[in-house]
Chains A and B, each alone.
Chain A
Amino acid sequence: SQTIHQWPATLVQPVGSPLSLECTVEGTSNPNLYWYRQAAGRGLQLLFYSVGIGQISSEVPQNLSASRPQDRQFILSSKKLLLSDSGFYLCAWSPGTERYEQYFGPGTRLTVT
């Protein structure tokens, strides 16, 4: 069966510090991968998605970036965090066709102070 992991679970970082969040998927190959941010427990904002290694599409211009160095690894980064980067970050994967749902990881709670 497939499993998706995210770490860390929680993170408190000062403004201006770098960020690296990691997401890995087990039990599947060539998944589509997604990064979302959820603010204040409400709607989801799609940040990045990837359909293959090294292929990253950005949905929202911001000071975040994403990379996919391996087939089942998706990393969200920032060089300098802003207060507005605080939120709940969710990684998700799907088998890559339109008929399939996305499966979400447990999330990372980021607080920028």
Chain B
Amino acid sequence: AQSVAQPEDQVNVAEGNPLTVKCTYSVSGNPYLFWYVQYPNRGLQFLLKYITGDNLVKGSYGFEAEFNKSQTSFHLKKPSALVSDSALYFCAVRDGITSSNTGKLIFGQGTTLQVKP
């Protein structure tokens, strides 16, 4: 069965410091991995995705994520955090076998990022 785990409910970072939001996954086929951000009372915004190719994926607002197949992880990173990055972050996965027609995503429970000035 497909699953996604975000082991941290909350991550606290000082502004200007690097940040990492962790995500691990389990799928039966090749994983397609996604990160989204959600600001209060808003819909989710797409940040980046890994489909194939380079393990380091760059996305919106200076975020990047590293796909690690051996560790089944897809951690979100940013070299220098901003206060405005404070939000709820979701990791999501689908595999190319069971979800190829439906496009269904499996979401993690979310990690709240707090960036302190």
Contact = CB atoms under 8 A, between A and B. Distances in A.
Q: Is the interface on chain B under 10, 10 to 19, 20 to 34, or 35 or more residues?
A: 20 to 34
A106 B105 contact: no
A41 B103 CA distance: 23
A40 B115 CA distance: 21
Interface in B76-117: 88, 90, 94-96, 99-105, 107-110
A101 B104 contact: no
A44 B107 contact: yes
Given A98-B32, A99-B51, A101-B34, A57 B102 contact: yes
B8 to A, nearest CB: 13
Given A57-B102, A96-B103, A109 B41 contact: yes
Given A43-B107, A106-B42, A51 B102 contact: yes
B43 A100 contact: no
A110 to B, nearest CB: 13
Contacts of A97: 100, 103
Interface string A75-113: 000000000000010101011111111111111010000
Interface string A13-52: 0000000000000000000101000000111101001010
Contact of A100 (B101, B103, B104): B103
Contacts of A98: 32, 94-96, 99-100, 103
Given A44-B90, A97-B100, A102 B45 contact: no
A32 B109 contact: no
Q: Which 7 A-B pairs have the closest CB atoms?
A: A104-B43, A94-B103, A104-B44, A43-B109, A32-B103, A44-B107, A101-B46
23 contacts: A32-B102, A32-B103, A41-B88, A42-B88, A43-B108, A44-B107, A46-B104, A92-B43, A92-B44, A94-B103, A95-B103, A96-B103, A98-B99, A98-B100, A98-B103, A99-B51, A101-B46, A101-B49, A102-B34, A103-B46, A106-B42, A106-B43, A107-B41
